[in-house]
Structure 1
Amino acid sequence: MVQALTGFSNWDALDKHWLEKIDTGYSTEGQSSDERGRRRVFESIHRYGYDPSGLRGLNGKELIKVVHKEPSMAEAKALFESPLWVCLSTVPGASIPMQTAVDRLVERWGTPMFLSLSQAMATVLHGRRLSKAHLTLLLVHATDLDSVVLMYCVYHEQNVADDEQMRTRYEQAMWFLVDCFLRRWCVAPREWRLPHLIMTRLLHPQGGPWAEHELALGGFPVRWRQDRPRRRNDGPMTAELPYTASQLRTRLDAGSLATSVQLAQYAGVTLSVHGPTAPAHARWWLVGARADALLPPSARVGGPETLTWGPGQFRPRRKRDRASVAAGPAAMPAWPMDDQVSQQGRFLPR
């Protein structure tokens, strides 16, 4: 993601651009020479999953802080600090710390935006018609992996695990969000580790022999690459995984198509779910719809009915205790389906 946002096509240029910021400008720079040669920092992060947060340069600056300080790296910073990684690091079958995730999302988006987006997701899960404003809100955040976390929290707050239809819509919506993220960064054709983690952590939590590989190797078992020599004690890395890449790809494509068709209906567009061209038509509709959603409010089709962002105070319909408002949400806000709250404190148009 940093490579894409910086605009370089090779690892050497990326290293040169960022390492200069942490290896120059110190007091004794002119009295010494750097003989470390090519360092392959970002390439190692990409290939082997090295944690960049501990890398400090010759001038004392940390690489991760220098990257996150750049305004153009806002998306990379948000992804690195996403509560999704805490959720996916939970041992299969264990309880995921939802309250920590909720607090982080409220801190990032603010309470009004958090409530509006969670309300939109709850509407989708219940299969009810979305307002134009809520549809716009979902499309704007579709490529943000934090939306995956919020969808997980909203679903489990509903306490409807026995509702098969809602569970189906939940899985389809999750795959839709994951697919949007992967296609945003052009990794959809080859990436399956993230879908595998989401499947075994957030959709169908389960243990198994593959979980022992994760604990023993200190990382995800499919991290091993075919071009790297294996150690004798590595053991089988992918043979016992519950899902293959092709199985995940099929589920992801089917779920993303189903949710795209559902959202298109709310926008007054009928998409087909049958035929070999159905996924392509849904994708083209999604690209056009999201492009329109990202336009400034004044340029969107629909005029005053579209959702506008701006400063304002949050004024919910129901009265709330002042102490609880000051302390922030103690748990996932549970709003009735008819209470549609915008960032400006107004009720969203239907």
Structure 2
Amino acid sequence: MSSMLPGAPWLLAHKSMLSMQPRKISLYGIDYVMWKDVGGNVHALPNACPHMGAMLSEGWCEIQSDGTSAIVCPFHALKFDAEGCTVLPGPNKKTLPQLNPLSLIIQGDFIWSYGGYEPKIPIPAVLNEIAKTYDFIGHTADASVETDLLTMLLIMHDYNHQNGTHRDLFQITEVEFHRFVDNGHHSHAFYDMPTAPYSLIEKLKKPDLFLLPSTIKAHLENHFPSLVIFHGEMPLGKAAQCHIFVPEAENRTRTYILLFGQAKNPAFQLFGSTYLKFGKVVVDQDTDILGKIYANTPQKIKLNNEVGMDWVRRNFENFPDVTEPNFSNFNY
């Protein structure tokens, strides 16, 4: 279990991702069914019906006579309330809890969980701060990737892969790394990525390309292990693109994006869906390259600017402690 960092907080969902339709959520090798009731309250139970193991996420939700919601098993239509109790046919009496609810920590629209483990590091407050000053644009790129958590985190902190993995979208020509600020489980990376210009004909065929700058100025704010925020500033406004990571199982990691924006120009809102599309393409490209890497290959070559990957490895090996000095302002 150590490879999935028990004791870390994981952002399971934003409330906009949930409804009265049951949804399967996985954490630490266990599947849960999660839903949001008519009052906006969020609930999560183990996904296997205690009768014969049917997936509750394949069932439906019903509002009961007292106004609360219940999840209904698709196999025999047994109804389970938020505490995991049901009413058996015949006696028509409510049972004791048959399912142990997953403990959730709700902060505004953010749904966190420690997966039943004792907390070892705190929930980062940065998303609450962003939600106060930015508008929520939406979510995208929700995917389960067949890779372990460490490998997923390494690729997200590999600043050299931008002009390889993401060249098709951004036409990045090089990565000009400037600075890495290390504050233990919190860090910042600053670098520029000049891009080869698209032709006018290419832009006319795909008008979204007009939104791409000639140089992408990257500021990544990292909160180990579950969150990377890309802070972007554009002529029309500022964006905070939040990449989330959740260890679903030893060799399966979930990732998704929450996008927040701060408009300088009313037109910024019109392009929200375009920025979400760009984010999805980035995740799709990262997922694709992860399927084209041989696992456990010895690394015989080290490139410049791998400080982010070193930060991940050090925090992973020492979790939950920060055993090395908190170096700051690495310049390259």
**TM-score under structure 1 normalisation?**
0.28
**TM-score under structure 2 normalisation?**
0.29
Q: By percentage of residues, which structure has more helix?
A: 1
Q: By percentage of residues, which structure has more strand?
A: 2
